[in-house]
A and B are shown apart, each in its own frame.
Chain A
Amino acid sequence: MVAIVDCNSFYCSCERLFQPRLHKRPVVVLSNNDGCIISRSDEARQLGIPMAGPYYMAKEVIEKHDVAVFSSNYNLYGDISRRVMETLKQIVGETNVEVYSIDESFLHLDGYSPKQLAKSARQIKETVEHWTGIPVSVGIAPTKVLSKVANRLAKKDPKKYKGVFVLDNPQTIDDALAQTAVKDIWGIGRRYAEKLESQFNLHTALALKKMNETWAGKNLGGVVGLRLWRELNGEPCIELKDQLIKKKMIACTRMFGRPVTSASEIREAVASYASRAAEKLRRQSGAAKMMEVFLVKNDHTDLYTYNPSTDALKFILPEATSATHQLINYALSLADKLFNPGSRYLKAGIILSQLVPDKEVQGNLFTQKNKPSVKLMEVMDNINWGIHKEAVHFGATGLHQKWQMKQEHRSPRYSTKWDELKTVK
């Protein structure tokens, strides 16, 4: 059997953990740059505040009902997420956990009797909540797709299921599928759901399950769709993924706090993103051979415009590297070529690809050996990770960084910074 453990309104729950005053109050968390609402507590949802809606449109409701508003605090959410996943690994064993996203994990639960399953599910839920303070919902079923169905229902009716729902026999599975709309099945997009509804008159997951295999193979978009249909029919097809796959690509892209027009600010931002990407790269002991830099403008209508052929540049490095200063240099020369005076820029980004393990970097006859930079980066990382984030950084990243994104309502980084610890009386 497979379980999915999903944190309830994860970002809001993280904020509440350190501010118990918020326990009954509606809470929302905003996206980067305080643009959209990306997490809502149950109370906020009941007020009709839409998910992913723009902040300014919900402002009236927010003020009227005294909703607590937070900018996203990814340092906090990342740390709490790590704790939740760590807890799950300690309960069911490290190899049985597949971290699916920042707030959900699949668990492999083999060899449990049905009775034990329900008990274990409750135990998992209670332990995570006790250890980390984050409320979770657990759905258990023979396949991943069905476990998602169970989880969704557990969340929808907390009084009935108390956050735990086990689909362990054909009758309960069919009942659950009958209550699930096609658009709410994991892996089916809104557009596709509309097509299934209008073309084939399929409205519930149960109806989709009852179609035959040849139909599914023909009409569900190939192998992926067929696997989904099989999963609905209780046949596990989507495997637990291997742990910690090293990324094949590392990106750092962020919005600016306001439109940026000056070349020097673009250079600062691109250098900062390059050094952030370099740090991520070194954390997985990698080196990059290819770099891409892009800048996103806005036009008069205040919308994004991005044309990959003119706003992005790729560059193959003479030798794979993870050294910040080298990557900054390359990134800046690309940024200079892209920059167009008079444009208003909203966003910049850097993508490192063609990653190789840093031990296996192939030398280039025409470039100097990289030894001193390896040592320099080691020293820099030790200082920055050990003492204080960004204690040492390159001058190119700027001192004031006025282009930084807006985070007017960010809470302290309670669990990752010594000088931002929660104070108690």
Chain B
Amino acid sequence: MEPEIWSSDFKGNKGFTQWEVHSANATGFGAAADDYMDKGIDLNEQLIQNKAATFFMRMNSEAMIGAGIHAGDILVIDRSLQAFNGKVVVACLNGEMMVRRLEKNFNKIRLVPDTDKLATIDVDLNGCEFFIWGVVTWVIHRVR
């Protein structure tokens, strides 16, 4: 038997019991809504696919402003995803971590910012230390 690696769902708060239905033992009419009672919405279920591999970081530049990532935003990063061409990634180039869009074709890798103010970086794989730290999956932006 080969070990199978499957992607996990968030296993957080599943403990939802009948006792949390507040009108469950109402002495008057049992509300029809009791049958339809849900656990409520948990943001973790939406934002976290794989808890073991998910990290949060804070953006502190406007390098990806065109992609809707502002300075001060919180990034949700999943390390378990493959960094395909076109993904927004956290990349490490010569010891520095940056968020950019990854462009991969043939033997060329480029890190593309989403702003006019910064230049695209051509990654020379022979002359530098380069690796992908993780793939950015969500941005949490505070509306002001």
Q: Do A and B come from one complex?
A: yes
Which of A126-134, A174-182, A308-316, A321-329 makes up part of the contact surface?
A126-134
Q: Is the CB of A424 within 8 A of B99?
A: yes
* Complex contacts, B84 vs chain A, CB 8 Å: none
CB interface residues, A 267-302, toward B, < 8 Å: none
Question: Which one of A112, A127, A132 lies within 8 Å of B5 (CB-CB)?
Answer: A127
- Any chain A CB within 8 A of the CB of B139? no
Residues of chain A contacted by B97 (CB below 8 angstroms): 20, 422, 424-425
> A424's contact among B2, B3, B53, B98, by CB below 8 Å, is which?
B98
Contact A425 B52 (CB under 8 A): no
Encode B116-138 as 1/0 by CB contact (under 8 A) with A.
00000000000001010100000
Q: Are A130 and B74 in contact (CB under 8 A)?
A: no
Asked if A123 and B3 sit within 8 Å, CB to CB, the answer is yes
- Min distance, Cβ B129 to any Cβ of chain A, angstroms: 7
Docked-complex contact A425 and B50, CB < 8 angstroms? no
A194 within 8 A of B: no
Within 8 A of A (CB), among B78-131: 79-80, 90, 92, 95-99, 129, 131
The reply on B23 being an interface residue by CB < 8 A is no
Query: Is residue B16 within 8 Å, beta carbon to beta carbon, of the partner chain?
Result: no
Q: Could you tell me if A92 and B59 are in contact, using CB atoms closer than 8 angstroms? A: no
Number of interface residues of A (CB under 8 A): 33
Given A90-B8, A133-B79, A133-B133, CB of A120 within 8 Å of CB of B3: yes
Q: In the complex, what residue of chain B is closest to A25 when comparing beta carbons?
A: B95
Bound Cα distance from A130 to B81, whole angstroms? 9
Tell whether, in the assembled complex, residue B5 and residue A424 are in contact, meaning their CB atoms are under 8 Å apart. Answer: no
Do A87 and B2 touch across chains, with their CB atoms under 8 A apart? no
How far, in whole Å, are A354 and B1 apart by their CA atoms in the complex?
44
Residue from the list B53, B60, B95 in contact with A425, Cβ < 8 A:
B60
User: Which of A21, A23, A111 meets B1, CB within 8 Å?
Assistant: A111
Residues of B within 8 A of A127 (CB): 5
Q: Is A415 engaged at the interface, CB distance under 8 Å to the other chain?
A: yes
0/1 string, B48-85, CB within 8 A of A gives 1: 00111101111111010000000000110001100000
Given A86-B51, A131-B50, A133-B79, check contact A424 B90 (CB 8 Å): yes
A390 to B14 Cα, complex, angstroms: 26
A230 near B: Cβ within 8 Å?
no
- Chain B 21-61 interface residues, beta-carbon cutoff 8 Å to A: 50-53, 55-61
Compute how far the CA of A248 lies from the CA of B108 in the bound complex, rounded to whole angstroms: 58
**Which residue in chain B gives the minimum CB-CB distance to A112?**
B1
Report the bound CA distance from A23 to B128 in whole Å: 13
Tell me if A91 is interfacial: C-beta within 8 Å of chain B: yes
A16 to B: closest C-beta gap in Å:
11
Contact of B63 among A116, A422, A425 (CB under 8 A): A425
Q: Kindly state the separation between the CA atoms of A120 and B3 in the bound complex, as whole angstroms.
A: 7
Contact mask for chain A residues 305-343; partner B; CB cutoff 8 A; 1 contact, 0 none = 000000000000000000000000000000000000000
A124 interface residue (CB < 8 Å to B) = yes
Q: Separation in Å of the A283 CB from the closest CB of chain B?
A: 15
Tell me if B19 counts as interface (CB < 8 A to partner A): no
The contact of B2 among A23, A116, A421, A422, by CB within 8 Å, is A116
Contacts of B61 in A (CB 8 A): 424-425
Q: Is A393 an interface residue (CB 8 A)?
A: no
B117 → A minimal CB distance (Å) = 12
- Docked Cα-Cα span, A218 to B52, in Å, equals 47
Q: Would you give the shortest CB distance from A243 to chain B, in whole angstroms?
A: 15
Could you tell me the distance in whole angstroms from the C-beta of A79 to the nearest C-beta in chain B?
10
Question: What residues of A have a CB within 8 angstroms of the CB of B96 in the complex?
Answer: 20-21, 425
Q: Contact: B52 with A83, CB < 8 Å?
A: yes
Contact of B75 among A24, A133, A414, A424 (CB under 8 A): A424
Task: Report the 4 A-B pairs with minimum CB-CB distance, sorted nearest first.
Answer: A21-B95, A86-B52, A131-B53, A20-B92
Q: List residues of chain A with CB under 8 Å of any chain B CB.
A: 20-24, 82-84, 86-87, 90-92, 111-112, 116, 119-120, 123-124, 127, 130-133, 414-415, 418, 421-425
Taking A86-B52, A132-B53, A424-B58 as given, write out 17 further A-B residue pairs in contact, using a Cβ cutoff of 8 Å, ordered by the A residue number.
A23-B129, A82-B52, A91-B5, A92-B3, A124-B3, A127-B5, A131-B50, A131-B79, A133-B133, A415-B56, A421-B74, A423-B58, A423-B59, A424-B57, A424-B59, A424-B90, A424-B97
